[in-house]
Structure 1
Amino acid sequence: MGERADNRTVLEIAGNDRIAFLQGLVSNDVTRLAGRMAYAALLSPQGKYLADFFVSERGDTLLLDVHSDLAPGLMRRLGMYKLRADVTITPSPLHVRRGLGTPPQGALPDPRHPALGWRRYTDTPGTAPLIDWDAIRVAHCIPETGRELIPEETYILEAGFERLHGVDFKKGCYVGQEVTARMKHKTELRKGLITVQITGTAPVGTEITTDGKPAGTLFTQSGGQAIAHLRFDRAEGPMRAGTATLRRAALTAS
C-alpha cells in the first residue's frame, strides 16, 4: 500500500477563496485539480525558488505536500499573502505514502515523471522506505528539495520545472512570473541541471571544472551518474569535481 515518505508535511488550505488565493501565488495552474495532482513552486518577487510542493484536492480543502524543512516557512509566506482572503492554512495530520507500480485506490500519479510512481495521503504512515528514489531521480534528472533546489538561489527553469510539468506559461500572473516568463521567452538558458556520468565520488556541492575553469556544481550521485548544475558551454568535454571525473550523459538539460 506504499512506503512512507520521510520528511514530508501536508498543509491544508480551506475557505471559499482557496483556489483563487493559491492560483495567484504559485507557478502552476491549480484550477484543474479534479482527479489529478499538480507540482508547483512558490517564488520570490525576483523569480527565485522558495519552496516546491504537490497540490491536490480533498473535499473542500487543498492539500500541499511539502518538504518538512520548508513547511513552517511556506505557512508564514502564505499567511503574509492572505490579507482579506477567505482562507485558512493549517498543518494536516495526514501522512504521505508513495510507491511504484499499480496505484492503490485514492493515489494520484506523481506529475513530474512516470518513473516516480504515485503519491497517496492517509491517516497512518506507510511501510519503511526501501525504494532507491535517488537512483530514479538521477537517471531522469529530477531535482530534490534541499539538494538541487536551493531557496533564494535556484531559478526553476534552470532546474527543469518546464520539463517536470511544474510551471504553466498560460495561467496568468503569480509571484515571480515576470522573471520566469522573461527567462522563457526573451533569453536563452546558459546553465541548468544535467545528468552526467561520474567516475569516483565527491561531496554534494563540490565545484566542477573544465580545463581548470569553473563549470558548475555537483549534486546527487547514484549508480555511476550524477545530477550537476552546469554552464552548457563548458559541459561538452571531460570535467572534474574533486578527484572524480565527469562527462555529460545523454541530453537531459533542463
Structure 2
Amino acid sequence: MTGPTRLDRTLIRISGPDARKFLNNVLTQELDRLEQAPVVYAALLSPQGKVLADMFVWADPDGVLLDVDPARGEDLFRRLSMYKLRAEAKLEDVSTQFDVLVNDAPFEAAVADPRLAALGWRKIGAKDTTITDGAAAYEARRIALGVPDLARDAGPDEVFALEALLDELNGVDFHKGCFVGQENVSRMKRRATTRKKFCPIVFEGEPPAYGTPVLAGAAELGSVRTGANGRALALLRLDRALAAEAPLTAGGKEIRLDPPDWLLLPPAAGAGD
C-alpha cells in the first residue's frame, strides 16, 4: 500500500449506560481493555462455541463501535438486538457516516491491528470519497501472513472459536466472566482438544478452488479456503496433516503446510487417531 485505503465494513454503534456491560456478557473479549487500548478483537459465538461473527470493538464516546464484515453485519445486529433485552443500550448502523481505513505503515491516529501487528494499521475516520478501495491489497497481505478472514474462509456457525484461531489472534479472554459459548471454549482450551485449525498451505501456481479437498493419499484432511498465487488458507485436521506420510495434495496439485511461528500446533496424530 502507498497510503491509507478504505475497506468495506459495517459499523454498528452501541450506546447508552449499559452498552459495554451488555456486550461484555455476550462477546469473547473483555471490554474493560478499552480503557487502555482504543480497539480490541472479539467474536460472537453460538451457545455451542462456534463463531457467528468476528469483529473489532472500538472505544467510542457514547459506548462502542463494532467494525464487522458486511456479510455478517445484518445478522450480528439482529442477534445483539435479541440479547440486549432490558439493557439500556441502543444499536444503530452508522456505516454511512464512517470509513474503516488501513495501511501497512503507521498513519495519523491509526493503531496497530490487535490481532497481529504485521497486519498493519487501522482506524475509523469520517467518510472521504477521495480515498481508494484497498480490499485487494489487504486480502493479499492477510493471506501472506496466514490470517483467516472468518467471513470468507468459514461459514457462520461452522468453526469453533479455537479452530478459528481466536486464541492466537487475541480474540478471546479466558479470564473474564461468562460469555455466550464460554463453556465449550474453556473446555477445548483446558483439554487442548483443538485438532482442526486454519493453516497456510503453499504450492506452485494458481490456488485450488475454494472448498477443494486436501488429501493425504486417499484420506481427506480438510479443504482449501481463500488463496492467491502460490499460497492459500486451508481448514484442516492439522494433527493428521502434520503426521501424514503420504504427500499432501489438493485438486491434483502437491501442497505443503507453511504454519506461521505464532500458530499453536496440535500434537501430530498417532496411529489410529
Is 1:17 aligned with 2:26?
no
Other structure's SS at 2:78 match: helix
Is 1:220 aligned with 2:223?
no
Is 1:233 aligned with 2:236?
no
Is 1:206 aligned with 2:209?
no
| Residue in structure 2 matched with residue 104 of structure 1 by the alignment | 108
1:114 to 102, 117, 124: 117
For residues 105-159 of structure 1, give each alpha carbon's deviation from its aligned partner in whole angstroms, at most 9, with x where no partner exists: 2x22210111111221122143232762233222322111322232111112012
Other structure's SS at 1:161 match: coil
How many Å separate the matches in 2 of 1:251 and 1:145? 18
For residues 62-84 of structure 1, give each alpha carbon's deviation from its aligned partner in whole angstroms, at most 9, with x where no partner exists: 00000112111111100101111
Other structure's SS at 2:235 match: strand
Q: What is the identity, as a one-letter code, of the residue corresponding to 2:213?
A: E
- Cα 1:79/1:188, change in 2 over 3 Å: same
Q: How far does residue 216 in structure 1 lie from its aligned partner after superposition? A: 0.7
How many Å separate the matches in 2 of 1:158 and 1:130? 25
For residues 152-211 of structure 1, give each alpha carbon's deviation from its aligned partner in whole angstroms, at most 9, with x where no partner exists: 111120121111000110012000000100110024222211112122431111111111
Q: How far does residue 36 in structure 1 lie from its aligned partner after superposition? A: 2.5
> With structure 2 as the length reference, what TM-score do the two structures score?
0.87
Contact 2:143 2:231 in 1 (8 A): yes
> With structure 1 as the length reference, what TM-score do the two structures score?
0.93
For residues 11-55 of structure 1, give each alpha carbon's deviation from its aligned partner in whole angstroms, at most 9, with x where no partner exists: 000000011100000011111213421000000111111001000
Other structure's SS at 1:132 match: helix
Q: How far does residue 222 in structure 1 lie from its aligned partner after superposition? A: 2.5
Percentage of matched positions with identical amino acids: 38
- Cα 1:245/1:134, change in 2 over 3 Å: farther
| Residue in structure 2 matched with residue 243 of structure 1 by the alignment | 252
Other structure's SS at 2:43 match: strand
Contact 2:53 2:151 in 1 (8 A): no
How many residues align? The count is 252
Is 1:162 aligned with 2:167?
yes
Contact 1:12 1:91 in 2 (8 A): yes
- Cα 1:97/1:232, change in 2 over 3 Å: same
Unaligned runs of 5+ in 1: none
How many Å separate the matches in 1 of 2:135 and 2:107? 17
Unaligned runs of 5+ in 2: 265-273
Q: What is the identity, as a one-letter code, of the residue corresponding to 1:195?
A: P
Other structure's SS at 1:216 match: strand
Stretch of structure 1 that moved more, 87-96 or 218-227: 218-227
How many Å separate the matches in 2 of 1:26 and 1:130? 26
Stretch of structure 1 that moved more, 91-100 or 170-179: 91-100
Is 1:134 aligned with 2:143?
no
Over aligned residues, Cα RMSD in angstroms? 1.7
